Amino acid sequence: MARIGRTTGKKQTKKSSSKVAKVKSKIAFSSYKKAIEYLFDRTDYEKAEVVRYNVTTFSLERMEKLLSLLGNPHVKFPTVHIAGTKGKGSTATMLARMLEANGYKVGLYTSPHLLDLQERIAVDSELITENEIRDLLNRAHAPVEKMSKTDPPTFFEIFTALAFMHFVDKAVDIAVIETGLGGRLDSTNVIQPQVVGITSLSFDHMTQLGDTIDKIAMEKAGVIKKGVPVITVQQDPAAMSVLKAQAISVKTDLIVTGSDIDFSHRFETSREHGPHTRICLTTPTSKFEHLRVPLHGKHQAINCGLALAMLDKLRSLGYKIDNDKAAAGLDKVSLPGRMEIIYNDPRIMIDAAHNAASIRALIHAIGQNIPYDSMIVIFGCNSDKDVWGMLRELQYGADKVIFTRSNSPKAVSPSDLADIYTEICGKMCQYAPSLGQALQIANSAVSREDLICITGSFYLIGQAKTRFLPQQEPVLTTV
């Protein structure tokens, strides 16, 4: 400052201009489009057809090095960590909304997204902007390029780092972090959280995580850390055994809703709310009675109980929590892609169910909450899923099935899905090479009181949601 103050005249102006130009030349991305193109050009295991699951492919050491070059943003704010097979995003969102309602500035990191990358990072329910992503990538560019000479960071590692940087920029009081794949080797597993939550465990990503429930549980249990309390829900006995053994090995407490915590739920219908579920949860420090679950289905009641138990644990750690404010925050929860009606004539629902347990829960929840004469299911899924398990469950709820494929490179061929489905249950089905053609078939068969349900893949329901955005014309009859 003093040196600039002593320099005057045209000479000083030229020098300042050259400095500004030099700074501008260091900016890697002048637009969001260029920044995103760079990001999507990184290795993306969410889209890769074949993924080797090991400490080289999913390297916490590489993630820690990237964060170190960025100033270790992940240690500059408190966190909670949520792992599991299904319900992670719902649980994370419910917990975040209850914390926000209690006056905390809350970061939320989830994956994947339906329509836009911005959905993955939010602070107090406000999504990160395109300009903020561009600016963060400009700051991260040099460290990423430095590492890329020997051990390039992946798409998910970079974006996770951007989330941590954004939460520092926004000075969050706490961040709710959802794991991506697994837990043990997940890029988010560099944090030291206040509390860990583990949602229901079932078969998913079996190629990477293992083909038995105990193997999958072992990967998920990798988020359990010494001295950090862990809360989970009722699990398969084999999965629970693994979680308990891991908690004991790192000398921490494992708390189970419905066992260590008094938890119950009941389904009811009212004029004000229609069909819904209410829950009660009681601990030595909290008593939540007859709270309405904002999302449909027994599985969401279980997720809500976990979110409440995590909130209660934060209370015991010194966070000021008012139960009435928490309930008000819970009432504000809405989650795209979870039993979401995206069109009304005919009724079209999308749901992100992407494993056998989720399909089972979806069919049960639709039966309880959505009146219909006949249900047409448009289904597509990826090859790294429990395809046979999903199709076994599908037969119990679908009156008509149309198989199609999403735009994912890992999508299973619709004709292969049809062959497997016929082998499983012997029922007639149809298949179409695209979602548009599947919708044409469904539209020709649907009546006023029927329901079209699109499910099986985040990619597929994202495509469906895009087709029915409010600003667009209805696209039931176009490919």
Please count the CA atoms within 13 angstroms of the CA of 18 that sit on its side-chain side.
6
In a domain, 4, yes or no: no
Residues 95 and 153 in one domain: yes
Last residue of a domain, one of 274, 302, 331: 331
- For residue 341, the Cα-to-chain-centroid distance in whole angstroms is 19
pLDDT on residue 474: 54
Cβ atoms < 10 Å from Cβ of 284: 8
125 lies in a domain? yes
Model pLDDT, residue 385:
83
**Are 389 and 364 contacting, i.e. CB atoms less than 8 angstroms apart?**
no
* 309 shares a domain with 452: no
Alpha helices in 332-400, H assignment, sequence order: 356-369, 387-394
**Rounded to whole angstroms, how far apart are CA atoms 438 and 453?**
12
99's CB contacts (< 8 A; 6+ apart) are 106, 173, 174, 176, 311, 314, 319, 329
Same domain, 173 and 278: yes
Same-domain status, 320 and 362: no
Q: Are residues 365 and 232 in the same domain?
A: no
Examine the domain organization and report whether 183 and 67 are in the same domain. Answer: yes
Flag whether 246 is in a domain: yes
Token pair 């072992």 is found at: 218
Report the pLDDT value the prediction gives residue 6, as an integer from 0 to 100: 32
* Cβ atoms 201, 124 nearer than 8 A: no
Is residue 160 located within the same domain as residue 281? yes
- Specify the pLDDT at position 24: 43
Residues 208 and 245 in one domain: yes
d(CA 18, CA 16): 5
Beta pairing partners, 245: none
Residues 231 and 323 in one domain: yes
The whole-angstrom separation of Cα 143 and Cα 65 is 9
- Residue range(s) defining the domain that contains residue 362: 340-467
Is there a domain that residue 126 lies in?
Answer: yes
**Residue found under tokens 């009146």:** 371
Q: Is residue 472 part of a domain?
A: no
The reported pLDDT for the residue numbered 12 is 39
Please give the pLDDT value at position 8: 36
Asked, for residue 479, whether it belongs to a domain, the answer is no
In angstroms, what CA-CA distances link 451 with 205, 351, 390? Answer: 29, 13, 20
Residue 478, pLDDT score: 52
3-state secondary structure 126-157: EECCHHHHHHHHHHHHHHHHHHHCCCCCCHHH
Same domain, 315 and 367: no
Q: Are the beta carbons of 429 and 403 closer than 8 angstroms?
A: yes
The answer to whether residue 9 sits within a structural domain is: no
- Position 410 scores a pLDDT of 85
Q: Which helix (H) or strand (E) holds 64?
A: helix 60-69
Whether residue 367 sits in one domain with residue 272? no
- Sheet order of strands, 287-292 included: 262-270, 274-282, 287-292
Q: Estimate to the nearest angstrom the gap between the alpha carbon of 214 and the chain centroid.
A: 23
All residues at 6 or more sequence positions from 393 whose CB lies less than 8 Å from its CB, including other chains: 356, 359, 360, 363
- Cα separation, 307 vs 294, in Å, equals 12
What whole-number distance in Å separates Cα of residue 413 and Cα of residue 468?
Answer: 24
Contact 119, 213 (CB under 8 A): no
Mean pLDDT by 10 residues, the chain (479 residues): 35 39 63 95 63 64 96 98 93 98 98 93 97 97 95 94 98 97 90 97 66 88 96 95 96 94 92 89 92 92 97 96 96 92 93 91 92 95 89 93 90 95 93 95 92 94 89 55
Q: Could you tell me which residues come within 8 angstroms of residue 55 by beta carbon, excluding any fewer than 6 positions away?
A: 61, 185
Q: How many domains is the chain built from?
A: 2
Q: Cβ contacts of residue 469 below 8 Å, gap of 6+?
A: none
CATH of the domain at 154: 3.40.1190.10
pLDDT attached to residue 206: 52
Token duo for residue 373: 């004469």
User: Using CB atoms within 10 A of its CB, is residue 38 exposed (0-12), middle (13-18) or buried (19+)?
Assistant: middle
> Is 188 within 8 Å of 80 (Cβ atoms)?
no
Do 211 and 113 share a domain, yes or no? Answer: yes
Measured over the CA atoms of residue 350, residue 373, residue 404 and residue 443, the dihedral's sign is: negative
| pLDDT the model gives residue 52 | 55
